[in-house]
């Protein structure tokens, strides 16, 4: 009996030694992570992103598989393209459009023009051209601040789908509700990102820490009001020597975000193609697209 007890004591001591070694190894790894020796293991940035972008029930899943591969290429690439086009027209091909849109830029092959609607690429490429520094900087700040964290969580394919859905919805809505006006800027895509994020925060408000939830909603509302104010100014109070620009893209992009964007951003840990909400949103979106195409071919005053 004494021998058996001695064996049991030895087994317990061995197990305790193993547990102590395991704890020491874990502490060592945590210290290395905090020291920044292995940036791929350092989840501090991902924790902050998860608190702002995801409801509490899926944060753990995100943190378990969080990485920066691939990096947020889509939003950064789109932003660089928009900046490059602006520099081309403002610096290399001066049109005096640093602050406001000038007549010269309306000849760009990228801008949406009601007289050239048969050039279908203009329904998307207009996002590359901006009315001036204010317009460009505002869109870049909004899409980088919101788009990069969204792309870190949902990856470029989903964010690109929402962004381009907003851009396309913006130009088609403008061709219907403001058919004789030109259209420039990436506001349709930016508002789609904001619309999807806004709905996600609204639906999961209780899970996203109430105080921070209120702050997020107030920030979004403030940005929307300031940007819509500028858009309305460009539309109704443009100088006599300028050209008024449509603002319908803002509203249409927001609705695209609140439908397609919400379903995409709320399916973080689910297969998007298996979610019936996604297909309902896509069906409604394409029904609107078909109506807009029919309107532009047969009913538009621009004809």
Could you tell me if residue 290 is inside a domain? Answer: yes
Where residue 229 sits, what CATH number does that domain have? 1.20.1540.10
The band of 259, judged by pLDDT with boundaries at 50, 70 and 90, is very high
What pLDDT digit, counting tens, does each position of 216-242 carry? 778 778 877 877 777 677 667 765 555
Could you tell me if residue 195 is inside a domain? Answer: yes
Could you tell me if residue 183 is inside a domain? Answer: yes
Between 68 and 154, residue with greater pLDDT:
154
Could you tell me if residue 55 is inside a domain? Answer: no
Between 225 and 39, residue with greater pLDDT:
225
> Is the torsion defined by CA of 187, 233, 172, 85 positive or negative?
negative
The pTM of the whole model exceeds 0.75? yes
Q: Facing residues of 112 across strands? A: 183
Q: What is the CB neighbour count within 10 angstroms for residue 288?
A: 18
Residue 242, domain extent: 73-297
* Catalytic residue check, 250: yes
* Catalytic residue check, 130: no
Rg (CA), the chain: 26
Long-range contacts of 80-83 (CB under 8 A, 24+ apart): 81/128, 82/127, 82/128, 82/130, 82/136, 82/139, 82/140, 82/186, 83/136, 83/140
Residue 191 has pLDDT above 80, yes or no: yes
The band of 174, judged by pLDDT with boundaries at 50, 70 and 90, is very high
Could you tell me if residue 245 is inside a domain? Answer: yes
Could you tell me if residue 221 is inside a domain? Answer: yes
Residue 189 has pLDDT above 70, yes or no: yes
Task: State how many domains the chain has.
Answer: 1
Q: CA angle, corner 231, sides to 226 and 237, nearest 5?
A: 115
Query: Which of the following is catalytic: 46, 135, 154, 250?
Result: 250
Could you tell me if residue 40 is inside a domain? Answer: no
| Across 109-127, average pLDDT | 93
Could you tell me if residue 53 is inside a domain? Answer: no
Residue 44 has pLDDT above 60, yes or no: yes
Cβ burial, residue 83 (10 Å; 0-12/13-18/19+):
middle
Helix (H, G, I), strand (E, B) or coil at 112: strand
Q: What is the pLDDT of residue 122?
A: 95
Query: Which of the following is catalytic: 174, 187, 246, 259?
Result: 187
């Amino acid at each position: 009996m004494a021998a058996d007890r001695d064996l049991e004591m030895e087994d317990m001591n061995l197990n305790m030694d193993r547990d102590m070694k395991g704890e020491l190894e874990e502490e060592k790894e945590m210290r290395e992570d905090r020291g920044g020796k292995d940036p791929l293991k350092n989840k501090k940035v991902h924790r902050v992103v998860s608190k702002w972008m995801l409801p509490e029930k899926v944060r753990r899943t995100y943190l378990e598989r969080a990485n920066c591969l691939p990096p947020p290429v889509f939003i950064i690439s789109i932003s660089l393209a928009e900046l490059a086009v602006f520099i081309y027209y403002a610096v290399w091909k001066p049109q005096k459009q640093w602050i406001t849109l000038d007549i010269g830029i309306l000849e760009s092959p990228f801008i949406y023009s009601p007289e050239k609607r048969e050039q279908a690429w203009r329904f998307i490429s207009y996002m590359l051209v901006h009315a001036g520094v204010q317009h460009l900087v505002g869109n870049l700040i909004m899409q980088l601040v919101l788009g990069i964290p969204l792309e870190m969580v949902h990856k470029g394919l989903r964010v690109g789908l929402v962004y381009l859905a907003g851009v396309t919805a913006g130009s088609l809505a403008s061709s219907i509700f403001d058919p004789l006006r030109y259209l420039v800027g990436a506001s349709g895509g930016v508002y789609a990102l904001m619309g999807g994020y806004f709905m996600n925060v609204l639906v999961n408000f209780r899970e996203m820490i109430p105080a921070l939830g209120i702050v997020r909603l107030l920030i979004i509302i403030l940005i929307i009001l300031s940007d819509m104010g500028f858009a309305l100014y460009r539309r109704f109070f443009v100088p006599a020597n300028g050209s008024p620009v449509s603002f319908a893209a803002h509203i249409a992009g927001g609705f695209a975000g609140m439908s397609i964007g919400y379903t995409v951003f709320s399916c973080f840990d689910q297969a998007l193609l298996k979610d019936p909400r996604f297909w309902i949103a896509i069906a409604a979106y394409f029904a609107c697209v078909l109506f807009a195409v029919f309107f532009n071919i047969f009913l538009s005053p621009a004809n």
